[in-house]
Structure 1
């Protein structure tokens, strides 16, 4: 009888998961703003992955110069116009999506990974471990993230990798505090106590029992943080300590274009619009994921 019950139990578990996914998709579809956010994010990632190979002027990505077409207004030949070097702004904005999105994803993943480790250890062990780790996080939170990222980036030097490291070092405390609270609540659950009674080690309990049950709020926070990570990367590029030209990046494009405002408005408007759409899209998507993964927080 047990042999026949096992396949039935597995089938029931699969059916329950499918039902949960259907309910999640239904909740997500109830908000048209979430659908808009998903569409914007998908469009941005398509531009990041395939855009540089499909742009009309690929030579401009490598720093090509064409002085005969300097400061041409938006037209059919140049959808977003051209800049001071005669480069196609549309090409640069599309190519910049790869750098900006890659940087944002890397910052959020590194920050979430470090913060999850710190928060899990602090919440599970408590005591002096919790005090030391959380006081370090509190100390970090007393400093403005952008100012600290500027200081670290200036010390490390300009460049994509250094920019990502500088911002990631300022990003982890929020995840640490979130994970710590979730771990403190979960470690008192019966399934954790059973695992402890069976002799499971701390690492196994955290990896196999606690963290899989708190992944939803982490994913929601990551989706909401993506837009702000991209904005921070652009801010460092704007003040000149991020990604350097000729590598196209939205913040550096905007920084150069400000020198030619308002006469050649298109050189600044389209990189700025790209940053706005990224932040807007990820915020809308994060709200939708929060409704799906945490129904108690539904708007």
Structure 2
């Protein structure tokens, strides 16, 4: 009996392994997708270890060295120093942790809220669908950055408040995406079979429908990471996000603009880091979209 069950499990696992192998092969065939994966891996590495590996940790902690202010790029300071004599490279490396974690928090919270709203609206339909979608449309009429600025100003500065403020303006896109996917999935044969077997609506939605519509959600999350990082930097640039001395890319750019173009290196490092992070996540998202697109499967 156990041998039979083991064989059945192997029969189910083999197609899954084959799909994963084919998906990885398609992903690896795209040079841009692999470049995006490498760039994202580097960003994640500095997100985890950037503060530890910073060559001048005392500058990350808020220390100043006025005797070394505005030094141009050199061997000791590859990206120069700022108006306080702090090593710009160390600040950018430590700022990766704040910027990327904030972007990930925004995308995670926004996707969870939007997925729940869209799934309930698409599955329940009727007046529940109307109420939830009109609320979504109302939120979409307000520009996301302006809404985030208003919420952040009301909540106050700080890492957590900034993430919550942006996430509350981020969920409508996921709600509309998931609602459309659920509306299509609820008419599939496996949903009809689950109803015939007596499955509850909650079980049908969360055990049968949502697992089958997760692919477009993952693709959108990967594509949204870059835009979330830009939004976090935007709030930091105008002074609503994380405040100094905590290093954050937008805050570093905001301070450095006062010294442009004479001390251009103070803005080059955070701007370059932001560009590479956004570019990498966009390339990775495009690659995942090609792999997870059901029409591309063979």
TM-score by length of 2: 0.97
Q: Could you tell me which residue of structure 2 aligns to residue 288 of structure 1? A: 287
Q: How many Å separate the matches in 2 of 1:99 and 1:61? A: 12
Q: Give the drift of 1:5.
A: 4.5
1:34-91 Cα offsets, whole Å, 9 max, x none, are 1111111110111111121111100111110000100001111001100000000000
Q: Give the drift of 1:193.
A: 1.5
SS for the counterpart of 1:242 is coil
Q: Could you tell me which residue of structure 2 aligns to residue 58 of structure 1? A: 57
Q: Which runs of structure 2 are paired with 1:200-219 in the superposition (5 Å)?
A: 200-219=199-218
Q: How many Å separate the matches in 1 of 2:176 and 2:227? A: 18
- When the two structures are aligned, how many residues end up with a matched partner? 297
Q: Could you tell me which residue of structure 2 aligns to residue 183 of structure 1? A: 182
Q: Does 1:265 pair with 2:264?
A: yes
1:249-271 Cα offsets, whole Å, 9 max, x none, are 00000000000000000000110
Q: Which runs of structure 2 are paired with 1:6-17 in the superposition (5 Å)?
A: 6-17=5-16
Q: Does 1:137 pair with 2:142?
A: no
Q: Could you tell me which residue of structure 2 aligns to residue 76 of structure 1? A: 75
Q: Does 1:104 pair with 2:96?
A: no
Q: How many Å separate the matches in 2 of 1:247 and 1:183? A: 42
Q: How many Å separate the matches in 2 of 1:3 and 1:84? A: 71
Q: How many Å separate the matches in 2 of 1:194 and 1:297? A: 27
Q: Could you tell me which residue of structure 2 aligns to residue 193 of structure 1? A: 192
SS for the counterpart of 2:78 is coil
Q: Structure 1 pair 136/266, CA: closer, same or farther in 2 (3 Å)?
A: same
Q: How many Å separate the matches in 1 of 2:206 and 2:133? A: 21
1:179-236 Cα offsets, whole Å, 9 max, x none, are 0011111111111112122222222111110010001000000000000000000000
Q: Could you tell me which residue of structure 1 aligns to residue 245 of structure 2? A: 246
Q: Structure 1 pair 297/132, CA: closer, same or farther in 2 (3 Å)?
A: farther
Q: Give the drift of 1:3.
A: 6.4
Q: 1:290·1:297 contact (CA, 8 Å) conserved in 2?
A: no
Deviates more, 1:30-39 or 1:248-257: 30-39
Q: How many Å separate the matches in 1 of 2:157 and 2:257? A: 20
SS for the counterpart of 1:286 is helix
SS for the counterpart of 2:263 is coil
Q: Could you tell me which residue of structure 2 aligns to residue 116 of structure 1? A: 115
Question: Where in structure 1 do 4 or more consecutive aligned residues deviate above 3 Å?
Answer: 2-6
Q: How many Å separate the matches in 2 of 1:61 and 1:204? A: 49
Q: How many Å separate the matches in 2 of 1:177 and 1:67? A: 52
Q: Runs of 5+ in structure 2 lacking a partner?
A: none
Q: How many Å separate the matches in 1 of 2:199 and 2:14? A: 30
Aligned-residue CA RMSD (Å): 1.2
Q: 1:163·1:233 contact (CA, 8 Å) conserved in 2?
A: yes
SS for the counterpart of 1:234 is helix
Q: How many Å separate the matches in 2 of 1:92 and 1:219? A: 31
Q: How many Å separate the matches in 1 of 2:184 and 2:275? A: 37
Q: Does 1:279 pair with 2:278?
A: yes
Q: Could you tell me which residue of structure 2 aligns to residue 47 of structure 1? A: 46
Q: How many Å separate the matches in 2 of 1:154 and 1:4? A: 63
